[in-house]
Amino acid sequence: MIIKNRFIRRLLTCAALSLATVATPSLAQNKYPDRPVKIIVGFAPGGPTDIVARLIGSRLEKALGQPFVIENKPGGGSNIGSQEAARAKPDGYTLFLGTVANATNLSTYKKLNYDTLRDFIPISQLVSSPSILVANNDQPFKTLPELIAYAKANPGKLAYATSGAGGSPHLAAEMLNMRAGIDTLHVPYKGASPAMNDVIGGQVAIGFKTASGVTTTIQAGKLRALAVAGRERMPQLPNVPTLIELGFPDFEVSSWSGLMAPTGTPPEIINLLAKTTIEIMKSPDVRKQLEGIGAFPVGSTPEEFKKYIEAEIKKWAIVAKTAKIEL
C-alpha cells in the first residue's frame, strides 16, 4: 500500500509539472509586452509618416505600459526599413509602419528582398491621406478640364514634379495620363519638399502632393488645388472637387500607413495590438491631431487591412506596367 501511494504521488507530481510547463508560454504571452517594443519606419524623422508613427507609438505606450520606440531606417523608397522589419524575430517586439510604398514597390522595383504579403501580417491601417493635384498659381489653367485641354494642345510640354520615381505621386500622374489621354513630362526630385518648392516657384507646372504635406500651403494661397484624389472632398478644402466628381470613376490615390508585424508573430499579440490600435484611432484628440495635417484616421481590423493592401498592389501593378515604370 505504501509503495502504491508513493507511485500515485509521483504520477500526480509529474502531471502537475507537465501542466505548469504547458501553461508557462500562455502566461508569458498574456503579459505582452514586458519590455520595450520597436516600430521600424522606412522614412526619415519629421515627415508625415514619422509623425503618425510617433503619435501611435506614444498612445500604445500609455495603453500597454511599455515604451514603443520609433526607429527610422530611411532609404530605397522605404525598402531598407521594410527588409529589416521582414527579417526581424516574429515575437511582437519589432513592428513595422507599412505605407503605400509597400504596395507600389512590388511593381516598380525589379528585385526586392522582401514581399509585403508573404513577409508581413497586417495589424491595422492607421491613416489615409489623399493626393491633391496642385498647380503653380501663374499657370493658364485654373481647373482640371482646362489643364487637360492645355496638355492635349501641348503634348509632352507640361511637366509634373514628384518626390521620386516610382512613388505614389508619380503613379498618380501616370494614371491621370492614362485616364485623360494626355502626355506630360515627369520631373523627379529627391523628396517632397524640393518638388513642392519648384511647383510653387514655377520651375515645374503641376504635381500630385499628399494632403498631409500640402494642405496648409494651399490654404496659404501659395499653390492652386485643382482636384483631390479621394472618394470625398476634404473638409479643409471644401471647394476643391474630387477627380471622381470630374469624370474619373474610382480615381483614388492615398498615402496610407498602418501597423504590420513580421510573419509568424503570435495571433494573440496581433489581436491585442489590433484591438488597442482601433480604440486609439477612435480617440477624439487623436482624430483631431491627424485631421489637422490632412490625414484621416482609419483603424481597420487585420482582415480589412489585408484586403486593402491586396487591392492597392493590384491597382498599382496595372499602372506601373502600362507606364513602363521600372526601378
* Positions of CATH 3.40.190.150 in the chain: 30-128+255-323
Whether 270 shows a pLDDT value over 80: the answer reads: yes
Q: Which residue has the higher pLDDT, 111 or 272?
A: 272
Three-state DSSP state, 295: coil
For the chain, the straight-line distance linking the first and the last C-alpha, in angstroms and rounded, comes to 81
User: Which pLDDT does position 15 carry in this prediction?
Assistant: 46
Helices (H), 157-301: 168-180, 192-201, 211-219, 267-281, 284-292
User: Which pLDDT does position 110 carry in this prediction?
Assistant: 87
Nearest Cα residue to 231 out of 219, 218, 248, 217: 248
Task: Answer for the pair 29, 41: CB distance below 8 angstroms, yes or no.
Answer: no
Alpha carbon distance 293, 299 (integer Å): 17
Whether 14 shows a pLDDT value over 60: the answer reads: no
CATH number for the segment(s) 130-228: 3.40.190.10
Our measurement of the distance from residue 147's CA atom to the centroid of its chain's CA atoms, rounded to an integer in Å, reads 29
Which of 59-73, 113-127, 185-199, 256-270 is the least confident region?
A: 185-199
Q: What's the CATH fold of domain 30-128+255-323?
A: D-Maltodextrin-Binding Protein; domain 2 (3.40.190)
Which of 82-86, 130-134, 225-229, 321-325 is the least confident region?
A: 321-325
**Residue-averaged pLDDT of the chain:** 90
Which of 76-80, 139-143, 241-245 is the least confident region?
A: 76-80
Whether 27 shows a pLDDT value over 50: the answer reads: no
User: Which pLDDT does position 10 carry in this prediction?
Assistant: 52
Three-state DSSP state, 118: helix
Length, in residues, of the chain: 327
Write down the residue that cell numbers 485641354 correspond to. 149
When pLDDT is averaged across residues 193-221 and rounded to a whole number, the result is: 93
- Rounded to two decimals, what is the model's pTM? 0.84
Whether 3 shows a pLDDT value over 80: the answer reads: no
* Positions of CATH 3.40.190.10 in the chain: 130-228
Alpha carbon distance 223, 228 (integer Å): 14
Question: What percentage of the chain exceeds 70 in pLDDT?
Answer: 91
Tens-digit pLDDT profile for residues 51-67: 999 999 999 999 999 99
Whether 138 shows a pLDDT value over 60: the answer reads: yes
Question: What percentage of the chain exceeds 90 in pLDDT?
Answer: 79
